Chain A
Amino acid sequence: MYRYDEFDAALVRERIKEFSDQVDRRSSGALTEDEFKPLRLMNGVYLQLHAYMLRVAVPYGVMNSCQMRRLAHVARTYDKGYGHFTTRTNIQFNWPALQDLPAVLSDLAEVEMHAIQTSGNCIRNVTTDVFAGVAADEIEDPRPWCEIVRQWSTIHPEFSFLPRKFKIAIVGAPKDRAAIRTHDVGLQIVRGEDGQTAFRVFVGGGQGRLPHIAQEIAPAVRGQSLLAYLTAILRAYNLLGRRDNIHKARIKILVAAIGIDAFRDEVERQFAILRHEDLRIPDEELARIQAYFTPPPFNDLPATSPAYDAARRLNPEFARFTRSNLREHKQAGYGAVIVSLKPIGGVPGDITAAQMDVVADLAARFSFDEVRASYEQNLVLPHVRLEDVHAVWSRLREAGLATANADLATDIIACPGLDYCSLANARSIPVAQALSRQLADAALLEKLGPVRINISGCINACGHHHVGHIGVLGVDRKGEEYYQITVGGSPDEQAALGEIVGRSLPAEEVAPAIARALDRYLEIRNDGELFIDTVRRLGADPFRTAIYELTDAAA
């Protein structure tokens, strides 16, 4: 993984010194809250319902064991012993005191972590495929490109005060495992006509109040021109994006308003007048960055492991875990283990300090010291020998991290909702917990197969409800929590927004209604047909009927 050079280290140190002074001035009253707010947001600090909240960046979701242990230390020392992984692969601490923040950031800087640009109207943490460098369908590892974009965008003077926040995701395979079309800019690595690395570029995606799926703006931008092309997009957005209305300030609104063709013309106009020599990525610099992401020293192993196969035969629970939480690795004899942060009845994305230490130990011992955060709010040990998977599972199981539900119906993505968030209209976590308990039966989960359920506590859509196969949106109806259900959303290469099926439901009716929709799927699916494919074939109507059948009968 990437390691800081002296410039990175100095930049982070100087920022902490600056922020430390700002905290002191805020504490003394020299700065008002209005003056301090934009400064704290630049350092990932929010003021939420109950306390300050610190959002720490996990660049493109990649961590080593030392960093994970330090997150555990922060959770224990400055917070309430836990953290919350988000859909941007960041981690949030919900309870730090203002005066502790400089110390927290200093502790994090020692392990090359920071909170810069995790908030504010700037380019946020770049996300990617959690199986980067692992998946066999990958054209090229996207992580070096993520790092290049991170370096380019960090404290970029021209793009530090954009009309609104700006999110970029990069994938290296045709299969989209990073929801790139829901981003302001989505980048997909392709092979250019010359056989070199190029990027298929999507622009104008986003969720929130006015959701849009990103549109293709360029089929194959050459790799060495990537930063120039991104600069042209950002420049067009910075100049033309609205600043008069926060709800209409994202690039998705601009692209929708003027049309993709007119926006492309503006980007190309900007691209033509850029100083390309300043933005071209030199081959030697690309090679230098790529060297940080060379594959670890894998052993030359057979594709199968007799010990692993025997453990699967002997232990049905382990076998179930491997079916749901183990992904194929391009290196023979290895697999990627998904560490579930979705225990039945738990808080999606939450992890205790003790659990962080367990994951850190397992990463160090069994996964070449690497652990990843996924946008689905789980963790991944990317490089585990098949013969070690049973030992990893056993330890995860002891720690409550081995729920066999990756990509299944209880692998629910949910924002913190009104239990924590000052923007929320309704709680997300209790709805996720009720649904998780309702669908807890492991055999049922496997029978249902992959189903993505997303819950957001307000229209800002941090829980990505628009692109859940089933989405749940909390709304406030005269001071009461209600939940609107959508069906048919999809975050992947067939990205689509879900269809609202009808009137919103009170909290206690949500889990039974979704369970009925999933029962209906089992009745009407074709052999081997996934839930989302049944929805695509038949539309939302059968599910709408199932969701409302009891409430309609009672009405």
Chain B
Amino acid sequence: MKLLTANRLNDGRVIYLGEADHAVETIDAARPLDDAAADAALAQAQSRPAVFVNPYLIEVEGRAPSGRDRLKERIRSAGPTVGHSLDFPARNETA
């Protein structure tokens, strides 16, 4: 299965395509896509540039990234594994 991911235009945060074509922030809320749905989802996200920046598809097992870039996608979904960003919520972001 696949998920559609991108960065959000207004703050650059990682987003996924969720149910009812909403942009969602957590990978657990992303909508799993089979090959046919994935192509349609990609086209749909590309048509919404005010939300989805650089949309692309990732391979998943369940909702865990499983493709060649799985480590990168895991870090994208969970945030940096170390460092100060873990301690400080940004403005406009819930802690």
Chain A: residues with CB nearer than 8 A to chain B?
26-27, 29, 32-33, 47-52, 77-82, 94-95, 97-99, 347, 350, 352, 418-420, 424, 426-427, 429-430, 433, 476, 478-481
Contact = CB atoms under 8 A, between A and B. Distances in A.
Contacts of B49: 29, 32-33
A441 B88 CA distance: 29
Contacts of A33: 49, 53-54
Given A77-B91, A80-B89, A49 B10 contact: no
B8 to A, nearest CB: 9
Contacts of B83: 347, 350, 419, 429
Contact of B75 (A78, A81, A347, A419): A419
A98 B75 contact: no
Contact of B10 (A79, A99, A347, A480): A99
A97 B11 contact: yes
A424 B53 CA distance: 19
6 contacts: A49-B75, A80-B85, A97-B11, A98-B9, A347-B82, A426-B71
A474 to B, nearest CB: 11
A407 B13 CA distance: 36
A52 B11 contact: yes
B94 interface: no
B76 interface: yes
B64 to A, nearest CB: 12
A122 to B, nearest CB: 23
Given A81-B87, A98-B12, A479-B71, 8 more contacts: A50-B80, A51-B7, A77-B91, A80-B85, A94-B85, A347-B82, A347-B84, A352-B84
Contacts of A347: 82-84
Interface string B52-77: 01100000000000011111100110
A48 B12 contact: yes
A29 B81 contact: no
A26 B87 CA distance: 31
A50 B12 contact: yes
Main secondary structure of the interface of B (DSSP, over half): loop
Kindly list the 4 A-B residue pairs having the minimum CB-CB distance in the complex, ordered from nearest: A80-B88, A81-B88, A419-B80, A51-B12
B50 interface: yes
B54 to A, nearest CB: 6
Contacts of B10: 27, 97-99
A82 to B, nearest CB: 4
Contacts of B75: 49, 418-419, 427
A393 B67 CA distance: 49
Contacts of B80: 50, 419-420, 429
B12 A47 contact: yes
B36 interface: no
Contacts of A48: 12
Contacts of B9: 26-27, 98
Contacts, number: 96
Contacts of B85: 80, 82, 94-95
Interface in B1-17: 7, 9-14
A518 to B, nearest CB: 23
A47 B14 contact: no
Interface centre among B70, B76, B83 (most CB of A within 10 A): B83
B40 to A, nearest CB: 21
Nearest to A433: B82
B44 to A, nearest CB: 16
B12 A52 contact: yes
Contacts of B91: 77-79, 97
Given A49-B76, A82-B88, A481 B71 contact: yes
A429 B82 contact: yes
Contacts of B7: 47, 51
Looking at A33, A95, A480, the one whose CB has the most chain B CB atoms below 10 A away is A95
A78 to B, nearest CB: 7
B84 A49 contact: no
A166 to B, nearest CB: 27
Contact of A50 (B14, B54, B89): B14
Contacts of B13: 50-51
A46 to B, nearest CB: 9
A25 to B, nearest CB: 12
A350 B71 contact: no
Contacts of B82: 347, 419, 427, 429-430, 433
Given A33-B49, A80-B88, A82-B84, A418 B71 contact: yes
A478 B88 contact: no
Nearest to A428: B82
Of B54, B69, B90, most buried by chain A (CB within 10 Å of CB) is: B90
Contacts of B84: 80-82, 347, 350, 352
B5 to A, nearest CB: 11
A418 B72 contact: yes
A427 B50 CA distance: 31
A479 B76 contact: no
Contacts of A420: 80
Contacts of A97: 10-12, 91-92
Nearest to B53: A33
Contact of A478 (B14, B53, B68, B92): B68
B71 A98 contact: no
A49 B75 CA distance: 8
A352 B88 CA distance: 10
A26 B75 CA distance: 27
Nearest to A352: B84
A77 B72 CA distance: 28
Contacts of A99: 10
A347 B90 CA distance: 19
